[in-house]
Structure 1
Amino acid sequence: MSTRLLPFALAAGLTLVSFGALAQEVVVKLGHVAPTTGPIAHLGKDMENSARMAVEDLNAAGVTLGGKKVKFELLAEDDASDPKQGTAAAQKLVDAKVNGVIGHLNTGTSIPASKIYYDAGIVQISPASTGTAYTKQGYDTTFRVVANDGQLGGTLGRYAVKELKAKNFAVVDDRTAYGQGVAEEFAKSAAAAGGKVVSRQYTTDKATDFQAILTSMKANKPDVVFFGGMDAVAGPMLRQMKALGIDAHLMGGDGICTTSLSRLAGDAIGNGKVVCAEAGGVAGEQKTTMDAFRAKYKKRFNSDVQLYAPYVYDAMMVMVEAMKKANSSDPAKYGPELYKISYKGVTGPITFDKNGDIKNGALTLYTYKGADRSELAVVR
């Protein structure tokens, strides 16, 4: 890492010099940021729960760095999916001198927050942000453990043309960085595969009434409606599609690919009507590991995994694995180790490229049969 990280490194070093000789236990602060209020709070709480479970597991296992036993402490913040609140949360964690951050969920909050972490020399690993721009800023502190929008949208576009035999597409996004990014990648991929975008519409991430845009796209008779956004909007949109008699598949990225979508959509979820892709995925013997994680999570929190919990857990574990490799919790020392790391997590193997993107990221395609989400395929 650059010399820009030295002030943080010196501060971390002075802390160990001042207290390390006397203390048998060193506290390492790990930050976590997600929207725990607002329309997708169920996803943010899912993430925060997993971060807590990871810290509990790390403390139970026992970690030693620099010859001293470490106690990990979680500092959790809420960004409400809002960029301004996200940067405020980031600055709060910087001021608290955290040793690393897991977050944020939304690309629109991760990107502005990443500048704050970079300037402070603090490593950030997002377990959920898929926008391609997030890792293309030239920041050596920025990583993610999920595939990006190019992979998500591209895979769905090809699948729609080749497997669903769709020809005409309506594309709508919620104007967030994530929604726009994945929708644009889908539209490009579908067109390249031989499809035609017959309607391009826009909404917001807080909208509940889609009558105008759905009525407009219905006239173009789309085979597929692609929505770039989150489940809290996709559910009501599906209900209104059914009410208007729009007999088309709904497709979307990981933002709609949750266990809550069927509840939000009611009987409009249909049988095989929705096709979505989740960033990440496991196959073969790795499924046993994922099933064990889900069972452990349910026992701990009395609720099912929503979506991003396994990626939060892996992000936390891979960060600490880098600390072990560097024998230090100082980001200036363990940050470079992330580029060399090879870690087998709950979600599969994790290695990073020069931009901080996960290499060979997996995607899982799902559909819904009533209230049940079922896997179609895992692709890389």
Structure 2
Amino acid sequence: MSKSTALGRELATVGIFAALAAAHAGVARADDTVKIGEAAPVTGPASYLGKDTENGARLAIEEINQAGLTIGGKKITLVFDAQDDAGDPRQATQVAQKLVDDKVAAVVGHMQSGSTIPASKIYSDAGIVQVSPSATNPAYTQQGFKTAYRVVATDAQQGPTLADYAANTMKIHTVAIVDDSTAYGQGLAVEFEKQAKADGITVLSHDATNDKAVDFRAILTKIKGEKPDAIMYGGLDGTGGPFAKQAKQLGIAVKVLAGDGLCADDLAKLAGDAADDVVCSIAGAPLLKMPDGPAFVERYKKRFGYAPVLNSPFAYDAVGIIVDAMKRAQSTEPDKILAAMPATDHHGVLGETQFDAKGDLRHGVISLYKYVGGKQTLLSVVEK
């Protein structure tokens, strides 16, 4: 064998080992990807809110990856694992199990209380942090799960704030209550009712419908006979908008009080001119009054081509809070992230976020709105 042939074979062998080393390095880099789960309804009547929630988390992950993330001396690339729970409790548990099986490091979600609460046990059993951007039912964090967090005020704050405003500012003396039988709508209505009674408001009735109803005339005809000063509706805008519209059509000339599920910028699309009869609350500060709100709006519009709807800044900060916990733990392991969460002191779009022992905000904010010509108009901001 000539020296040149032997040298050629040696070089070829070196090349093979180099290729294998490069391939191995590629695998090592792939091992440094970390999945962040997200769950919200992107189908069904609340899909536009769910897509806004998903967009907020997606924008945060894209910006973090662009800026570069290093945890424990390793360069980390976040991978977005977004799932559709359709706003259905059963599908929510299936989605939760899928995210666990996907080995996500943490989860942003779910959007609605009715999905968040049943899913929370699955995340708790798996030891995976769950940060809801929008679930307001107090029961979510009252279960004692160490994995459960939220970045909005609860209905135990929102319902009473709405009731206080009705009693003290609107001078409401009697009210009829209707809820959509969901964990969110019913929970908000119950908290409102307790405070309304404490404030001296007489609750004339409390009726239940469902979150797929389209015809409310029977309930509204009964309420019309009761002659309340106002009606409180617990539910989302998909049913609440038509509810307000049908109330106006039946000649019920009173305000409709509602929570953040109904308090959408484009409520007039569903309620028509009855939107101007609505007074509603949102568990959070107005976006443009948030510390980084105006800048967030511009970044969001540049990325998605339209303005934020409601939940996106909360989902955005939920991602930031999870990544902040990773940095403090110097680990992407779920148990290490979980251990770092109680000491959270995050400064983001929402301002400063700290949690109490249950996983609720230490300092919640409730904003109250009315509609003028179908346009959402701020009434007041209440810190809780």
Question: Structure 1 length normalisation: TM-score?
Answer: 0.92
Counterpart of 1:197 in structure 2: which amino acid? V
On the 8 A contact 2:127/2:338 being kept in 1, the answer is no
Q: Deviations over 1:28-60 (max 9, x none)?
A: 100000000001101001111111111101101
Instruction: Select which of 246, 249, 253 maps to 2:255.
Output: 249
Q: In the alignment, what sits opposite 2:278? A: 274
Query: Closer, same or farther in 2 for the Cα pair 1:73/1:194, shift >3 Å?
Result: same
User: Mapping of 1:265-344 within 5 angstroms?
Assistant: 265-270=271-276, 273-281=277-285, 286-287=289-290, 289-344=292-347
Q: 1:125 aligns with which of 131, 150, 158?
A: 131
Correspondences of 1:175-254 after superposition (within 5 Å) = 175-254=181-260
Spell out the pairing of 1:145-160 with structure 2 (5 A cutoff).
Answer: 145-160=151-166
Match of 1:112 in 2: 118
Trace 1:74-113 onto structure 2 (pairs within 5 A). Answer: 74-113=80-119
Any conservation in 1 of the 2:144–2:358 contact (CA below 8 Å)? Answer: yes
| Cα separation, 1, equivalents of 2:301 and 2:207 | 39
Secondary structure at the aligned position of 1:339 is classed as helix
TM-score scaled by length of structure 2: 0.91
SS at match of 1:219: helix
Distance change in 2, residues 1:252/1:19 (3 Å): farther
Cα distance change on mapping 1:113 and 1:326 into 2, 3 Å: same
Amino acid at match of 1:325: R
Amino acid at match of 2:63: D
CA distance in structure 1 between the aligned counterparts of 2:175 and 2:47, rounded to whole angstroms: 30
Q: For the Cα contact (< 8 Å) 1:130–1:149, is it kept in 2?
A: yes
Distance 1:21 1:36 in 2: 33
- Alpha carbons 1:102, 1:124 under 8 Å: kept: yes
How big is each residue's C-alpha offset from its partner over 1:55-86, in whole Å with a ceiling of 9 and x where there is no partner?
Answer: 10110111101101110000010011101100
CA gap 1:107/1:350 in 2 versus in 1, 3 angstroms: same
- Asked if 2 retains the 8 angstrom alpha-carbon contact of 1:290 and 1:346, the reply is yes
Query: Which residue pairs with 2:174 in the alignment?
Result: 168
Shift of 1:239: 1.0
Q: Is the 8 A contact 1:29 1:74 kept in 2?
A: yes
Q: Which residue of 2 aligns with 1:379?
A: 382
Is contact 2:291-2:349 (8 Å) kept?
no
Q: How many residues align?
A: 360
- The structure having more radius of gyration, on CA atoms, is 2
Which SS does the other structure have where 2:340 is aligned? helix
Q: Aligned equivalents of 1:177 and 1:353: distance in 2?
A: 22
CA distance in 2, matches of 1:193, 1:22: 62
Measure the CA separation in 1 of the matches of 2:291 and 2:332.
Answer: 31
Q: Which piece of structure 1 moves more, 333-342 or 220-229?
A: 333-342
With over 3 angstroms needed to count, the CA separation of the structure-2 counterparts of 1:137 and 1:150, relative to structure 1, is same
Whether the 8 Å CA contact 2:290–2:351 is kept in 1: the answer is no
Change in Cα spacing, 1:142 to 1:262, as seen in structure 2 (3 Å) is: same
Which runs of no fewer than 5 residues in structure 1 stay unpaired?
Answer: 1-17
Aligned residue number for residue 349 of structure 2: 346
| Secondary structure of residue in 1 paired with 2:371 | strand
CA drift of 1:371 comes to 2.5
Alpha-carbon distance change, 218 to 115 in structure 1, aligned in 2, over 3 angstroms:
same
**Match status 1:369 vs 2:372:** yes
- Hey, what's the Cα distance between the residues in 2 that align with 1:65 and 1:20? 18
Say if 1:286 and 1:348, in contact at 8 Å, map to a contact too.
no
- Structure 1 equivalent of residue 13 of structure 2: none
Deviation at 1:25, TM superposition (A): 6.9
In structure 2, the residue corresponding to 1:115 is in which secondary structure? Answer: helix
In structure 1, what residue type is equivalent to 2:362? K
For 2:286 and 2:334, locate their aligned partners in 1 and report how far apart those are by CA, in whole Å: 30
TM superposition shift of 1:282: 5.1
Aligned partner (choices 13, 29, 32) of residue 35 of structure 2: 29
Kept in 2: contact 1:24–1:69 (CA 8 A): no
Q: Distance in 1 between matches of 2:349 and 2:241?
A: 29
TM-fit CA distance, 1:337: 1.6
Partner of 1:31: helix, strand, or coil? strand
Deviation per residue, 1:217-270 (Å, 9 max, x gap): 111111111111001111111110111000111111111111131211112212
C-alpha distance in 1 between matches for 2:303 and 2:244:
33
Identity among equivalent pairs (%): 48
Structure 2 unaligned spans of 5+: 1-23
Shift of 1:108: 1.1
Counterpart CA distance in 2 for 1:69 and 1:286 is: 35
Q: Give me the CA root mean square deviation.
A: 1.7
Distance in 1 (CA, whole Å) between partners of 2:321 and 2:286 is 17
The farther-off stretch of 329-338 and 93-102 is 329-338
